[in-house]
Structure 1
Amino acid sequence: MIRKSASLGFVLVLTATMTSATIFGSVRGIIHDPQHRPVEGGMVTLKSTTSEWENTAESDVSGEFSFNPVPIGKYSITVSSPGFVQERQIVVVDSNTEPIVHFQLSLAGAKENVTVSGAPVNVPTDSATPRTLVDRLQIAQTPGASRSNSLAMITDYVPGSYVTHDQLHIRGGHQTSWLVDGVPVPNTNIASNLGPQFDPKDIDYMEVNRGSYEAAFGDRTYGVFNIVPRTGFERNNQAELTLSAGNFYQTNDQLSFGSHTERFAYYASVNGNRSDLGIQTPVPEIVHDAEEGYGGFGSLIFNFDASNQLRLVTSLRRDYYQVPYDPFSSDIENAPSAANRFTAQYPSLGLRDGDHESDVIINFSWVHTFSSKFLLTVSPFYHYNRANYESSPSDFPTASMQDRGSTYGGGQVSFSANTAKNDLQLGLYSFYQHDNELFGVKFNDASGQPFTANERRSGSLAAFFIDDKLRVTPWLALIAGTRPTH
């Protein structure tokens, strides 16, 4: 593929007060001197490894410090204190985790050489969930991962993930959940959609949970994808234009804008894509398999004050897929033969079907920080999803159609409390759903009369969740949670 990218400049900057408790973790640590006595007043700097954002704190009389809340991502921690050599460590923060770091400072002048050594990998004890964290740099550097219809950002990094019959599978199934900023995107019709939930180019971080879920993430069996979208804090009145062209007459293009001040940030993008190779074909030849789509994404963040943040995330997509068919009249599917007892199995030679999809997401969040230990997030949302499978009126022997539209409205409220030994999270998640589905068949072989059937259904869901983590020792944590759903 030939790819051309024009960028007016970018840096990745995260804020410490993003939305929803389920994309947050925290960082805690302690500072000692060479005699293992606590160091009071040490300056601690927490900085994203992929941005210019940083936050600072001072150690207390016990030498302890904490940062809360901290969005998922990779950070460096630097500790400095008069009379001591500056020390630095790298820490990775996952949602609902609290990595603990220990600094033992050396006296200034006591060391003349810098020693570089490999540090052992610390196994987290505050979560039983296997996680994979993918950032936007990995997406940009992975071949094909930034294409609108690509799932390479998942299949290239997440163990046990693959695509078959045009559906993403992980650990053997395709019942998965998508979350944006920790708020679930409700969808009870996963198998009827082929289009992407989000364009990979709009993603900042993606956290993938693979089993042993905490109660806050719901009960989808096979996987949970928690998306932290780009916000605009990584740009200063900058735009980026990405153009690409490749075989099968494909192109994946995007224009995005973003900027920020100390209190406000915005990010907006529009994208378009098309290709002659869309979904998987029944035969090696590529016939009637084009796809095209376009979409837009927007993010607005306003820090009302040090304790309150407002955020709006919107996403719009429309996608179209031609449904390929078997073009060979002598194949077992199309023609009577001895192999199929002289009865064609599923003749597709005369079909020209297509799949039309639309998706709209609106997610508003209010984040209130009571203190460094207590956090409240209120997130109302709206989601509309449409999938219309339609045939050409001249399809033979029958022309069928199935149009479905689903509307969801609801919200999530979550509260978290973090102390030295205990982390508590509780919340309520609920939505109302209305479906409108139309099915129709036209018999072009005169074998029956055309008919249509319309069905309208409504329902609701309400779930309460509570998670609690008690750190008994540095190597032992007790984790419990429940999520009753009605």
Structure 2
Amino acid sequence: MRGRALLLRSVALALLLFSAAAAWAQTDVTMARITGTVKDEQGQPLPGALVEAKNQETGLMARAVADTNGFYRLLNLPPGVYTLTASLSGFATLEKSDVRLVLGSAPTVDFTLPAATTAETVTVTAETPLVEVTNTTVGATILNEQIKSLPLNGRDFTSLVYLTPETRRESQRGYISISGQRGINTNVTVDGVDYNNAFFGGQYGTAEGRAPLAISQESIKEFAVITNGASAEFGRSGGGFVNVITKSGTNDIHGT
């Protein structure tokens, strides 16, 4: 009985760890993150510094505290434009506005806090876009501004996929072909969920002679096309990847 109970506990623990890993991978697919350091003007780390990120569209707040090396990490941030603030008692508060996070991005944003005898805030406008020197992914991100402003035949957002080099639409089935691979080898996800036909391959809703099911252009926030160098969160494909996220609510009222 003890052996059986131990086996059941081991299986339950393995399933729990697997589920957590899957959830973490899905979060990385649909979100973004920011890392960096907080130091003083002499280059010494400032442990305990508070770093806050505020989404300018929704007001979402995320906070992190710098560790003993001055390193901080902000995870699970929805794509959008943020204002970052770093503060610590005895130092001036530094604010960086207009930090743009796109789908799957992980920029490094460092802070250098000057000493302050009175309360003051220094505001810096971030350079856009931020360069990710550790990102080896080859592809492109199609932003919401492009989806709204560029002409689309039939208002099909997938037509914008072909702005990315090494992509084309298959003439017979209408699948998205990447890097010369057959369209059935392209992996498409929407909000982290598989959007592929499990039987025929290709985009969901397709079969011989049928076009893929379409998602409204108005529903799409942005999407990334990865032609090479995809990270471990992506898989199940011999071709490339199209990673789509849909819009969420904001503090403003919009209509069409």
Matched-pair contact (CA < 8 Å) for 1:24–1:70: yes
Match of 1:306 in 2: none
Contact 2:57 2:80 survives alignment (8 Å): no
Confirm or deny: 8 A CA contact 2:103 2:223 kept in the other structure: no
Rate the CA distance shift 1:50–1:234 in 2: closer, same or farther, 3 A: closer
Whether contact under 8 Å (2:57, 2:250) holds in the other structure is no
- Please tell me the residue identity of whatever aligns with 1:20: Q
Give matches, 1:254-265, under 5 Å: none
Match of 2:211 among 147, 172, 194: 194
Q: Distance in 2 between matches of 1:69 and 1:213?
A: 19
Match of 2:133 in 1: 124
Distance of aligned partners of 1:77 and 1:154 in 2 relative to their CA distance in 1, 3 Å threshold:
same
Cα distance change, pair 54–138 in 1 and its aligned pair in 2 (3 A): farther
- Please tell me whether residue 20 in structure 1 is matched to residue 26 in structure 2: yes
Question: Which 5+ residue runs of structure 1 have no aligned equivalent?
Answer: 1-16, 243-486
2:36 to 29, 41, 50: 29
1:161 aligns with 2:178: no
- Partner SS for 1:194: coil
Distance 2:147 2:84 in 1: 25
Correspondent of 2:250 among 234, 237, 240: 234
Pick 1 or 2: higher relative contact order, CA cutoff 8 A, min separation 6. 2
Asked if the contact 1:77–1:91 (Cα under 8 Å) also holds between the matched residues in 2, the reply is no
Code of the residue aligned with 2:39 in structure 1: it is H
User: TM (normalized to structure 2)?
Assistant: 0.66
- 2:64 paired residue among 57, 62, 67: 57
Amino acid at match of 1:106: P
Q: CA deviation at 1:160?
A: 2.6
Bigger radius of gyration among the two? 1
Deviation at 1:48, TM superposition (A): 3.1
Classify 1:123/1:44 alpha carbon distance in 2 versus 1 (closer, same or farther; 3 Å). closer
Of Structure 1 and Structure 2, which has the larger fraction of its residues in strand? 1
Task: Give 1:181 deviation, angstroms.
Answer: 1.8
Q: Does 1:216 align with 2:223?
A: no
Look up the SS of the partner of 2:147 in the other structure: helix
Match in the other structure for 2:14? none
SS at match of 2:242: strand
1:45, 1:79 within 8 Å by CA — same for their partners in 2?
Answer: yes
Which runs of 5 or more residues in structure 2 are unaligned? 1-22
* Offset from partner CA, 1:23-72 (integer Å, 9 cap, x none): 24432221001112222443322133554333233334443322222344
**Candidates 179, 187, 196, aligned match of 2:189:** 179
Matches within 5 A, 1:15-164: 20-21=26-27, 22-48=29-55, 50-82=57-89, 83-88=91-96, 90=99, 92=101, 94-95=103-104, 98-108=106-116, 122-125=131-134, 127-144=135-152, 147-156=154-163, 158-163=164-169
In structure 1, what is the Cα distance between the partners aligned to 2:165 and 2:83?
A: 27
Distance 1:25 1:52 in 2: 16
Alpha-carbon distance in 2 for matches of 1:184, 1:150: 18
2-side partners of 1:71 and 1:19: how far apart?
15
Structure 1 length as normaliser, TM-score? Answer: 0.38
Q: Distance in 1 between matches of 2:129 and 2:102?
A: 17
Structure 2 residue identity aligned to 1:103: F
Alignment length (residue pairs): 218
SS at match of 1:86: strand
Cα 1:229/1:215, change in 2 over 3 Å: same
Q: 1:115 & 1:180 partners in 2: Cα distance?
A: 35
- What aligned pairs does 1:316-327 form with structure 2 within 5 A after superposition? none
Pairwise CA distance, 1:150: 4.8
CA distance in 2, matches of 1:124, 1:107: 30
Q: Does the Cα contact within 8 Å between 1:18 and 1:71 map onto a contact in 2?
A: no
Q: Which residue of 2 aligns with 1:263?
A: none
Instruction: Measure, in 1, the Cα distance between the counterparts of 2:215 and 2:128.
Output: 36
Aligned equivalents of 1:234 and 1:19: distance in 2?
Answer: 25
Instruction: Give, in whole Å, the separation in 2 of the partners of 1:116 and 1:215.
Output: 33
Q: 1:64 to 1:215 in 2, by over 3 A?
A: closer
Q: Aligned partner of 1:63: which letter?
A: G
Question: In structure 1, what is the equivalent of residue 15 of structure 2?
Answer: none
**Fraction of identical pairs, as percent:** 21
- Partners of 1:115 and 1:86 lie apart in 2 by 8
**1:261 aligned partner:** none
